[in-house]
Amino acid sequence: MKFSIDKSELSSAVDFALSFVSAKASIPQLEGIKFVVKDGKLTLTGYNLEVGGAVSIPVNQINVEEGEAVLPARMLNDILKKVKGDDVSVEIDGNYVGTLTCKRSKFKLSCLTADQYPALPEVSADGFEIPGEDLKSLLETVFATADSTATTPVFTGVNLALEGGKLTAAAIDGYRLAVKVWTGDATGESKATIPAAAAKALRRVLPASAKVNVKFGEKHASFMFDDQMIVCRVLDGKFAEWKRFIPADFKTIAVLDTDEAKSALDCACLVVTGAEKAPVKMEVDSKSVHFSVRTANNSSCEELDALEVSGTAAKEPMVIGFNGRYLKDALSAIKSESVEIRLNGPLSAIIVVPKNSDDTKSEDVFLVQPVRLN
């Protein structure tokens, strides 16, 4: 195998493939990146048996020899980031010793055969398109809520469900729920729960300007854009019927300025340090919301004016305790100027939804379970 190529293009492609390379694998080839030169293109593949990605880039058409080999991923990435020059030449001999040349720099690399490198799964299913910017937004909003410690695999990932032209992303753990909805012109119905590692990779590498073709198969899901592809396994099991956790009615609704609520909550939580686990106490009255925290040695209290309060708290204050980080994550994920805090009492979950400026109903929703106050 022999080729020459623009260094910046190769560096970007290696960085993409490296996102899917195993740090330690039972198959040595999976610790590297598979290079294939064929039909004037170089295809790089990284795969850890859960999530994989491939990208194709053109090579210079002079002095090209087709072939395939597995190159050391992290070493190659470090080399390309350090060496000076515009073009890189790579040659792999019959003993799988690679020579990389860039301007005055020359490296000898120990490579592997590609015959034991597993092929990326093919997904046979109808697909739909979604702008890369919107898919990134869905994943960024709910990703932090996926439960990495769950014993049921399906709850460690992000559920994606297409129905009625809407793609809904949802993640859940034992203490909170996050849901975000994209409305577009996609047709059909399909769903899959993808691993958190796949969601993390997509957030990292998806170009906002790309059009992403998405396919959900029985065992694998694929995401194709430009000359790149990401494939991941679909987690077994049925995802939670999360809609049943959302009450239809609420005793109190407080409308807050989103930035002011985040700032007040941040300040109230400043007294919680290290491994302390002190809940935040929220008190809603007819005009304002109070956040307070009490630890063994410190305490805090922050007050902010509510834009509107309706329900029972307009007559009698409502008090509830919760994990401050979980509510901060929910507020940080909301992009609207104001937010609704919906309450049913101290032992019922807090429901947080965006308050749209045009009064249209948002389908995004965040749930935080209450904590008993001493």
Q: Residues 20, 72: one domain? A: yes
Q: Residues 360, 252: one domain? A: yes
Q: Residues 99, 144: one domain? A: no
Q: How far apart are CA 281 and CA 253, in angstroms?
A: 17
Q: How far apart are CA 365 and CA 178, in angstroms?
A: 6
B/e letters for 173-208, b = 16+ CB within 10 Å, e = fewer, are: bebbbbbbbbeeebeeebebbbbbbbbbbbeebbee
Residue 229 included in any domain? no
Identity of residue 132: G
pLDDT digits (tens, 9 = 90+) for 322-344: 999 999 999 999 989 999 999 99
Tokens coding 151: 């014993």
Are 132 and 207 contacting, i.e. CB atoms less than 8 angstroms apart? yes
Where residue 237 falls (left for φ over 0; alpha for ψ -120 to 50; beta otherwise) is left
Q: Residues 193, 267: one domain? A: no
Global pTM value: 0.91
Q: Residues 259, 359: one domain? A: yes
Identity of residue 36: V
pLDDT digits (tens, 9 = 90+) for 229-250: 999 999 999 999 999 999 989 9
Residues of the domain holding 57: 2-110
For residue 358, pLDDT over 70 is answered with: no
Share of the chain above pLDDT 90, in %: 84
DSSP 3-state of 227: coil
Tokens coding 344: 């049913």
CATH number where 89 lies: 3.10.150.10
